[in-house]
Structure 1
Amino acid sequence: MATDRPSRIAFVSTYLPRHCGIATFTHDLRTAMDQAAPDMRTLICAIDNEGLDYDGQADFVIGQHTMADYPAVAESIAHAGVDAVVIEHEYGIFGGPDGDWINLFAQRLSELGVPYLVTLHTVLSHPSPGQASALGRLCRGADAIAVFTPAARAMITSTGMATADRIFIVPHGAPTALREDWDREHVPGPRRGTSVAGEVRPEVAELLDQSGQSRIVSTFGLISPGKGLEVAIEAVADLAEEHPDLVYVIAGATHPEVAKQHGEDYRDRLTGLVADLGVQDRVRFLDFFLTDDEIAALLAATEVFLTPYHSTEQISSGALTFAVAAGCPVVSTSYRYAQDLLRTGAGNIVEPGDSAAFAEGLRGLLADPERLHAAQAAAHSVGATLGWPSVARQFAGVVRDMTAERARRRGLGGLGSTARPARLGRHADAVFT
């Protein structure tokens, strides 16, 4: 690794303006690392499926469904003097069966002597044979693997895809704007009357203004059937009489891939359900992709955040991370990431698909100020560790150690897996204890 210039670190991921959780994650991490790690220069290799204009933000582009791009761009990255590559992994963002073409890219990097790290955004307890094969190959060739939670690390080691000494826990980050103007001593409830830096669109400002004295619960993120929003809508309807000031805000555009295949069918079903239940005045939609400032404004007004997701397998959630970082108590279905992030008492966890149980979980917070305050305090405590500057410093440390270990082994005349620095693992684990 060169010492007379900043090391060059390339992120391989979807990237803005593509509307995708991983694209937002990579943009935020890259931005934070540019501030937190001046010894590194970050580059972007965008996985593109729409012919997007990246406005100079992407240094390399791989056509998601163009097989030849994967090894060819790996060669371009190596020839550009990149010292290490970070692959943001999710099965659906890469081409080939189960996203297997990313292995063509990774194999060519390895042949050219460029180490790579894999960040796992999905870890399945029972992957299909194709999924296990594709991810197993990618992990076996990686110098290091980053996961968000202890549960994800345990799952990866149990499958034999990687040994624990190569797996690092670095939490999912959140914008610092979510915690601005936070008063540690404030009473239970949303941070009404606080200012949020930045601008919000009139639709957001108007909705929050109209809901001024209401008790707002909310969900934000890309809309898809897996989000289980019908469960939360039914729960809000169940609570309508006992909490006449309750308003549920659902914010976010339909997921682009869902829109391509099914249009707005799911959103139409949700609005139909709202009408059938007679809660049009209780459920409000913001039908677009929110900016960080708009998310901050929404969460500042939110009393309880809801994630009624159907899948129990989900191992990360940017939306849940943002809500906890903002100090919001949560009612969530029992998926893996929620179990880890909420284990210190930041909310109530219920089984998926059960609107009555979800309503009871929400009732338990809304009807008990002391319990609500305790959940809010727990969320605030966990959220204090999740700001992007802190996460970026941890992640930069993993990359530095990975590349230093690769250089050390090369100096000894051999290549091998990097050793896991225990100090980073202990620091990250503290988020979940």
Structure 2
Amino acid sequence: RLQVVEPGVRALPLAAADADIPKLLCVASLTPRKGHGLLVAALARVADLDWQCDCIGSLARDPVHAGTIAAQIAAAGLDGRVRLSGECTDDALCAAYAAADLFVLPSRYEGYGMVITEAVAAGLPVLTTSGGALGETLPHGAGLALPVDDVEAFASALRDLLSNREHRLQLRDGARRARSSLRDWTRAGFEFATALDRHAATNHLAQGRHA
């Protein structure tokens, strides 16, 4: 019998940003699967709006791809608006979540999507895709999960959330509500241990029947 135990999440400060120039945050290593190319293409389509985007994540896992994304940013005239920050400390990451207005993750596939849960733990509205488990990881009402590799849909949603403050704050409220129901690592560990104990007991009974 298969039992799924979802990961826990650390406590994060509540994001309270509501800046005149919205701050977007993407946390993902720069690899093709994470969809930074789509993000830059979508941001280029909303360059007429005010925003800043900080992309935090390793630039070293695929240096060639990271260079391609940097060149794409420059070609789109987005230097100074899209920042590739590389890896950072846990404290700096917590500060980045707290300072953001919208979390964006256009991944093509995620087996879970831990950063989505972290964003919700910070009370951030989320714009992501339905790639892999992302659509299930994102709590209802806390954001939008769009089709994979759909630049136009991502750009349209960005335009709406950047220009429609009421909608953005509505999703932020949804994330804040979902935040209270997230499990911490203590609870996740307890659920995992309980599942192991149940599995061990089942195996013991099965072995007894066949003894």
The interval holding the TM-score normalised by the smaller chain is 0.7 to 0.9
- After superposition, the Cα gap between the structure-2 partners of 1:191 and 1:378, relative to the gap in structure 1 and judged at 3 Å, is same
Write out per-residue CA displacement over residues 375-413 of structure 1, whole angstroms, 9 at most, x where no aligned residue. Answer: 112112222222424xx3243244235326625763785
Separation in 2, partners of 1:344, 1:368: 20
Higher relative contact order (CA 8 A, sep 6+): 2
Task: Trace 1:87-102 onto structure 2 (pairs within 5 A).
Answer: none
Segments of 5+ residues of structure 2 without an aligned counterpart are: none
TM-score scaled by structure 1? 0.44
Partner residue, 1:172: 7
Matching residue of 1:282: 81
Distance in 1 between residues matched to 2:158 and 2:28, nearest whole Å:
20
The RMSD of aligned alpha carbons is 2.6
Match of 2:149 in 1: 353
For the residue of structure 2 that corresponds to 1:223, the secondary structure is coil
What residue identity is the alignment partner of 2:81? R
Partner of 2:64: 265
Moved more, 274-283 or 340-349: 340-349
Whole-Å separation in 2 of the counterparts to 1:385 and 1:366: 27
Contact 1:409 1:415 in 2 (8 A): no
Amino acid at match of 2:21: S
Q: How many residues of Structure 1 are paired with residues of Structure 2 in the alignment?
A: 210
Structure 1 segments of 4+ aligned residues over 6 angstroms from their partners: none
Indicate the SS of the match to 2:171.
Answer: helix
Q: Distance in 2 between matches of 1:402 and 1:379?
A: 31
Q: Which moved more, 1:329-338 or 1:293-302?
A: 329-338
Residue in 2 that maps onto 1:248: 53
In the alignment, residue 250 of structure 1 is paired with which amino acid? C
The residue aligned with 1:403 is 197
The CA deviation string for residues 66-97 of structure 1, in whole angstroms up to 9 with x for no partner, is xxxxxxxxxxxxxxxxxxxxxxxxxxxxxxxx
Q: Distance in 1 between matches of 2:107 and 2:209?
A: 42
Name the SS for the 2:182 alignment partner. coil
Report if aligned partners of 2:116, 2:138 keep a CA contact under 8 Å in 1: no
1:296 aligns with 2:94: yes
**Paired AA for residue 298 in structure 1:** A
Question: CA separation in 2, counterparts of 1:366 and 1:301?
Answer: 16
Match of 2:208 in 1: 414
**Which deviations, in whole Å up to 9, do the C-alpha atoms of 1:12-70 show, x marking residues without a partner?**
xxxxxxxxxxxxxxxxxxxxxxxxxxxxxxxxxxxxxxxxxxxxxxxxxxxxxxxxxxx
User: Which whole-Å deviations, capped at 9, do the CAs of 1:123-166 have from their partners, x for residues lacking one?
Assistant: xxxxxxxxxxxxxxxxxxxxxxxxxxxxxxxxxxxxxxxxxxx3
User: Compared with structure 1, are the counterparts of its residues 385 and 168 closer, same or farther at alpha carbon in structure 2 (3 Å cutoff)?
Assistant: farther
Structure with the greater alpha carbon radius of gyration:
1
1:316 counterpart SS class: coil
Give the counterpart letter for 1:318 in structure 2.
Answer: M
Q: Note the C-alpha offset of 1:343.
A: 5.0
CA contact (8 A) 2:139 2:178 kept: no
8 A Cα contact 2:113 2:137, kept in partner: no
Q: Map of 1:205-216 to 2, 5 A cutoff?
A: 214-216=21-23
Q: What is residue 330 of structure 1 aligned with on the other side?
A: 126
Write the mapping of 1:32-181 to structure 2, written as runs, cut at 5 A.
166-176=1-11, 178=12, 180=13
Aligned AA (1:317): G
Once residues 213 and 366 of structure 1 are traced to their aligned partners in structure 2, the CA distance between those partners, rounded to angstroms, is 10
SS of the aligned residue for 2:3 comes to: strand
Counterpart secondary structure, 2:120: helix
SS at match of 2:101: strand
Asked if the contact 1:175–1:292 (Cα under 8 Å) also holds between the matched residues in 2, the reply is: no
Q: Which runs of 5+ in 1 are unaligned?
A: 1-165, 183-189, 194-211, 259-263, 417-433
Amino acid paired to 1:286: S
Q: Could you tell me which of 212, 236, 239 is aligned with 2:43?
A: 236
Q: Indicate whether 1:191 and 2:16 are aligned.
A: yes
Q: Does 1:227 align with 2:34?
A: yes
Query: SS of the residue aligned with 1:167?
Result: coil
User: Is the contact made by 1:171 and 1:386 (CA closer than 8 Å) also made in structure 2?
Assistant: no
Quote the residue 1:308 is aligned against: 106
What is the SS of the residue equivalent to 1:380? Answer: helix
| Residues 25, 100 of structure 2: 8 Å contact kept | yes
Does structure 2 conserve the Cα–Cα contact (< 8 Å) formed by 1:168 and 1:398? no
User: How far does residue 336 in structure 1 lie from its aligned partner after superposition?
Assistant: 3.5
For residues 413 and 331 of structure 1, do their structure 2 counterparts lie closer, same or farther at Cα, with a shift above 3 Å needed? closer
